[in-house]
Chains A and B, each alone.
Chain A
């Protein structure tokens, strides 16, 4: 078996100093070829070695056949944002192999399937041809199984080259194929075959090495969608209405799985939840608001195109003051956009969803733990404020694998908001003065001056409980009205309610260093910003940081800008949507401080996409 090494020792690569626990591996495969298992085993094995790690799936909008890439970043400092370049590359896809080689960084290790008709041409990378077909044939007698385990061979080759512990691979395989021992054994034999082949045929050491650390003990690996699903489960969600759409689908699928497992009544075996796969997003939203109107905790999850369809109902729910939680796992827009790529392009669309003067509560988690906590909190806020609440994730958070600490059990009682019961009404009637006994409840009254009204639920057994819900103009008593004064009173109260929400929504994460330069970001930009701040600090630029976790802005956002000298706002969209919103809401005198940094090519933002523009703008 021939080993192809490019000439001249790959530009001296083999003589370089070894980099320990700080590099990325990318694997190129054909969508649908079963590479996901191999990639997750690779990820989990590194994680089990105690090394901080993240995994990102770059996949096409296609069922099978198109190119797909998986990137694993291992980093001893815990940086888990995307890195634009990868030190190690595994090329299994004949369609992209030439392109894959062309985009490698100098000094990269290029492991490729030598069964493919391909001749390496880069002088500055180390090309390692691996005869996958022959290796698999040796270890797997059954021809029809060979295709299934081929990808495991590169796990073995990498294990030998960069030092992944085979025991950890075995343990990761056992987890991956839980309950299917035969499959685990067969896959491990392919790993072993790859490892042995590399040990025999590759008599050199690459300058990238993994060494056991202790930075992942007790931690979990989870995707953001699964984390959000757990938030819904523990928030007591009882109605789920959804329509499948990438990249939100796994949120509902995970939630339904958890509900079926953990939410059957122990005495009767009956469900304490109802799930509807609706005919479209219009119906999904209608079911959510119908159920919430009747008092259930209801949710749906969708992506940009679904948000567009749900807008009509969102406006109705805003105006009629009905709770409901909508997860938007963003992909790239406008229109169908790039269905399997990530962006933060829906911020404005969520904040002002639907026609007329509307303003919504939007929660913006950055990490899996926040996806869990804010999903949970969304229901409390939605019922407290009787209004739709959006939870804005993106594909990067929702569908990729992240390391996290185990989630805390959220112990505070559920906030079901101001719901007036039949007993409450009876008591109020008893206590009301003569002549006012029929006036103890009005659906849209501003009872405490904070804009938040009270509601009764359909089915409340009291003659004073009923009211009429309508999307047309109405009075504080829920009567139809087109009178100018009634309308302005109503929309002004809604604005007042929104102002009250500023004090209740999650406060930003803030790190004030008294520096000249401030950074504002939100959502998944968090990871790249953390790394960028360290890189900037290494260049002598210390930074303050504020990460927005919700709309409307809490007062601290305005204060942060006020006390800052220059504010770089990081957006993963073309138009700098967060920068625009900030300019609208801060003191106009502070607006010139805002400088927008935008990243919007569909790839998760990386640290250098922040560092470079900051350095550039700091010159001026």
Chain B
């Protein structure tokens, strides 16, 4: 009897999951960052994004190595420490048709790159900005980062005596149009958030707790696997339905809230313990503060605003990429020069 071997599953472009993978990771075995890489691969695959449309950007650090580990058919740029936001801004200015994903770490974002991070959010540069947050410097072998919680300890037992930077609270305060927090050990939530971030127009910040197995996965750490699992308070359970899928049947009106993304995709938020409205900025801030006070680790979509214009749209640029405009569109003719010269006589 003849048997047929089933071919690998493909997405709407006919590409397989493998087509979204990159080089083998050189991070420590069990690193939270590798789990996030896996979800990035899955999200791009499920959304059926053409790899060549993606620009992968990062700064310096363990997290910043990861763009090499996904989407090897996309251009990647591993830039300088903390300055990926500027590179991403320039990239999107040059070619607004690209889909930019930046991967950064807590040192890269909350210390050396804090200035650029803040201004990226202020501008609402259209991109996905993933912070792989482990509260520790891995590549320099285990110093506290600016997101380490007060009182948490290093492997050596040294306690942190400074308060942490809450990247999500900061982002909400600055008016970032998409603010979410997740955990590398929660693939379902992370994939839904990544897919929603892809559908979002503006900066989509994903602060993802990603335990460092080598330096920060011990009892005194508040960013270990155990701590994250114990303290995790999801705001809601998330479902994401891209615009190209059938939508209606999935939504249960009594218990869910639906956020419509600008491309028509739908993000569903199933109510858990609390009635949470992620479009209310003041409430988002209050909820974060309250949670921080309790030492909770709140995850889910914290704030979203699909109405806020993104940086590129606000510049009223031509639709085609500036990078490849023909010379006839970017070089004024001799008459313009003559006119300018005449005005200077």
Contacts and interface: CB of A to CB of B under 8 A. Distances in A.
Interface of A: 218-222, 230, 233-239, 241, 258, 262-263, 265, 268, 270-276, 278-280, 282-298, 312-313, 316, 406-407, 409, 413-414, 456-463, 465-472, 480
Contacts of A414: 327, 331
A217 B44 CA distance: 65
A341 to B, nearest CB: 26
Contact of A470 (B73, B78, B116, B341): B78
Nearest to A295: B323
Contacts of A258: 340
B188 interface: no
A291 B90 contact: yes
B68 A468 contact: yes
Interface stretch (B2-10, B221-229, B314-322): B314-322
Given A230-B340, A236-B327, A296-B94, A480 B87 contact: no
B251 to A, nearest CB: 35
Contact of A298 (B83, B94, B327): B94
Query: 3 nearest interchain CB pairs?
Result: A286-B86, A290-B90, A295-B323
Interface string B57-96: 1000000000110001111111110010111111101110
Given A282-B116, A294-B91, A468-B78, A271 B86 contact: no
A163 B68 CA distance: 74
A470 B50 CA distance: 23
A295 B321 contact: yes
Given A282-B116, A459-B321, A472-B78, A274 B86 contact: no
Given A298-B94, A457-B323, A221 B344 contact: yes
B28 interface: no
Nearest to B324: A295
B80 A294 contact: no
B337 interface: yes
B345 interface: yes
Contact of A294 (B55, B85, B327): B55
Interface in B298-345: 312, 315-319, 321-325, 327, 329-332, 334, 336-338, 340-341, 344-345
B50 A461 contact: yes
Contacts of B317: 270-272, 274
Contact of B80 (A295, A313, A462): A313
A468 B64 CA distance: 13
B97 interface: yes
Contacts of A469: 75-79
Q: Find the residue from A274, A282, A288, A457 having the highest chain B CB count within 10 A.
A: A274
Given A283-B85, A290-B87, A468-B76, 15 more contacts: A258-B340, A274-B317, A283-B83, A284-B86, A286-B85, A287-B86, A290-B89, A294-B94, A296-B322, A312-B83, A409-B337, A459-B323, A466-B73, A469-B77, A470-B76
16 contacts: A219-B345, A220-B345, A239-B90, A265-B318, A270-B316, A274-B322, A292-B94, A293-B94, A294-B98, A312-B83, A316-B80, A406-B338, A406-B341, A414-B327, A460-B52, A465-B52
B53 interface: yes
Given A239-B90, A407-B337, A468-B76, A233 B332 contact: yes
A168 to B, nearest CB: 13
Nearest to B119: A279
Contacts of A230: 337, 340
Q: Chain A CB within 10 Å — which of B57, B94, B95 has the most?
A: B94
A294 to B, nearest CB: 4
B38 interface: no
B115 interface: yes
B322 A286 contact: no
A459 B93 contact: no
A222 B57 CA distance: 42
Contacts of A456: 75
A289 B90 contact: yes
How many residues of B sit at the interface, in one of the four size bands?
Answer: 35 or more
A238 B321 CA distance: 10
A444 B94 CA distance: 22
A470 to B, nearest CB: 4
B72 A295 contact: no
Contact of A270 (B318, B327, B334): B318
Contact of A467 (B75, B89, B325, B330): B75
B51 interface: yes
A386 to B, nearest CB: 14
Nearest to A47: B345
Nearest to A474: B78
Given A239-B90, A276-B93, A466-B75, A283 B119 contact: yes
A312 B116 CA distance: 15
B331 A466 contact: no
A292 B329 CA distance: 18
Contacts of B345: 218-221, 406
A471 B98 CA distance: 22
Contacts of A457: 75, 95, 323-324
Task: Specify the main secondary structure of chain B where it touches its partner.
Answer: helix
Contacts of B341: 220, 406-407
A293 B344 contact: no
Given A262-B336, A469-B77, A294 B95 contact: yes
A466 B52 contact: yes
Interface in B194-218: none
Contacts of B77: 290, 293, 468-470
B89 A271 contact: no
B331 A459 contact: no
Interface string B136-172: 0000000000000000000000000000000000000
Nearest to B75: A458
A316 B345 CA distance: 43
Nearest to B90: A290
Given A286-B79, A409-B334, A458-B75, A295 B318 contact: no
B115 A295 contact: no
A236 B318 contact: no
Contacts of A279: 115-116, 118-119
Contact of A293 (B87, B321, B325): B87
B78 A471 contact: yes
Most-contacted residue by chain A among B67, B324, B329 (CB, 10 A): B324
Nearest to B99: A459
A466 B322 CA distance: 19
A290 B116 contact: no
B95 A283 contact: no
Contacts of B323: 238, 291, 294-296, 457, 459
Interface string B274-317: 00000000000000000000000000000000000000100111
A231 to B, nearest CB: 11
A466 B329 CA distance: 27
Contact of B93 (A218, A296, A312): A296
A298 B92 CA distance: 13
Interface string B244-276: 000000000000000000000000000000000
B95 A459 contact: yes
A471 B332 contact: no
A459 B92 CA distance: 11
A432 to B, nearest CB: 19
A230 B336 CA distance: 10
A462 B94 CA distance: 19
Contacts of B83: 282-283, 286, 312-313
B322 A273 contact: yes
Nearest to B315: A274
Nearest to A470: B78
A465 B51 CA distance: 11
A272 B90 contact: no
Contact of B91 (A234, A263, A293): A293
A195 to B, nearest CB: 25
Given A469-B78, A471-B78, A234 B331 contact: yes
Nearest to B116: A283
Nearest to B325: A272
A285 B86 contact: yes
